[in-house]
Amino acid sequence: MKFQLSEKDLELDVSLIKSNLNIVTEDREDMEVVFENLTKSAIQQRFKVKYDGEELDLKESKSYLFQNQDQIRGNIKLYLPRKIKSYGDLKTKGGNIKINSLYYNGDVKMYGGNFKVTEKLIGSNEYKIYGGNIDIEYFEGGVEIKTYGGNIKINDGKIEYMETKVYGGNLKINSIFELKKDASIKMYGGNIKIDVEKYNTESKIYAIIMGGKMDITGDFPEDKLIKKKYNKTGIGKDIVSNIPESIFNMFSKFTGNKSDGENKDVEVEVEEKQNNYTEEVNKVLDMLDEGKINAEQAQKLIKSIKES
């Protein structure tokens, strides 16, 4: 499917359940969507593909997959002009997203699966990761990360803004820091390792550690880190050991994925239950983050949600 682009900017609204997406930017003027391993009939029944001159709407049908659970995993390639500027939403439940190079401002939400950038990603991104892996070769711009499990790795780049909340999993960043405003880190579990190539800013990093381990090395002035650690008071003790694991195990069960990158078929019939569980757990963690409840109360609430 080829589309003539009428704008220099492209809005992406992508939601996939049982498919992998490979975004390829190259020297071209148009946009093309290619389904590599599906019949024309399966594509028409399983996917919505629409371009209105501004937005590409690419969605996989939950109802179709529920009725046809023996469907193979789809492989989709999206070819874009190299100079296109994109924004919007990328969401996948169990599938993989691979990008060579892209200018993208928007959200990435993943329930298992892998997100990999082989060359560079430029823009302002917000990541919500419920298991799975993110591996970005080079990143430039602002980043917000909320992760409940899995691994996130930025191998090189220049970070201008950073806000992270880690409830479990691993976050590793190797980058130049040119912060345009103060950065924040909140940890309830997991591991954060930041290797600073250069710290070219007067802005500071504010860190609140309720559990887990954080290590910042490299060309980083100690007075730029304002850290508060609450481990000795017991705050975060239960949430560190239980919440990330319980959340990740639940999402792994739904998506058929593991944090080591293995991919199995998605259990579509529990889609609604997964979404409800995610929403309720997010509410509890937001209450914890705002100080409305303590770690013990959060653990009890999440346990009751899981058992309901």
Per-residue pLDDT at 220: 94
pLDDT for 119 beyond 60: yes
Burial class of residue 136 in the structure, from the number of CB atoms within 10 Å of its CB (0-12 exposed, 13-18 middle, 19+ buried): buried
Per-residue pLDDT at 96: 92
281: helix, strand or coil: helix
Mean pLDDT across 17-30: 94
d(CA 297, CA 238): 10
Nearest to 42 by CA among 13, 22, 20, 70: 70
- Using 50, 70 and 90 to split pLDDT, how confident is the model at 281? confident
Q: Which amino acid is at 182?
A: D
Q: DSSP string of 100-117? A: EEEEEEEEEEESSSEEEE
Q: DSSP string of 157-173? A: EEEEEEEEEESSSEEEE
Give every CB contact of residue 133 below 8 A, 6+ residues apart in sequence. 114, 115, 116, 150, 151, 152, 153, 259, 261
pLDDT for 164 beyond 90: yes
- Using 50, 70 and 90 to split pLDDT, how confident is the model at 274? low
Looking only at Cα atoms, what is the longest distance across the chain? 62
pLDDT for 294 beyond 80: no
pLDDT in tens, 149-160: 788 999 999 999
pLDDT in tens, 169-198: 889 999 999 999 999 999 887 889 999 999
| Cβ-contact 24, 80 below 8 angstroms | yes
pLDDT for 201 beyond 50: yes
Neighbours of 16 (CB within 10 A): 24
pTM: 0.79
Per-residue pLDDT at 260: 42
pLDDT for 249 beyond 90: no
pLDDT for 19 beyond 80: yes
Percent of the chain whose predicted confidence (pLDDT) is above 90: 51
Per-residue pLDDT at 188: 81
Nearest to 173 by CA among 162, 187, 165: 162
Domain spans in the chain, listed from the N-terminal domain onward? 1-92, 238-307
- Using 50, 70 and 90 to split pLDDT, how confident is the model at 300? confident
Neighbours of 127 (CB within 10 A): 19
Task: State the DSSP code for 81.
Answer: E
Per-residue pLDDT at 72: 82
91: helix, strand or coil: strand
Q: Count of residues for the chain?
A: 308
> 166-175, 250-259, 292-301: lowest mean pLDDT where?
250-259
| Cβ-contact 129, 152 below 8 angstroms | yes
- Using 50, 70 and 90 to split pLDDT, how confident is the model at 57? very high
Both structure tokens of 24:
């390829």
Higher per-residue confidence, 269 vs 156 = 156
- Using 50, 70 and 90 to split pLDDT, how confident is the model at 308? low
β-pair type (170-177, 157-166): parallel
Per-residue pLDDT at 93: 85
d(CA 176, CA 207): 18
pLDDT for 48 beyond 60: yes
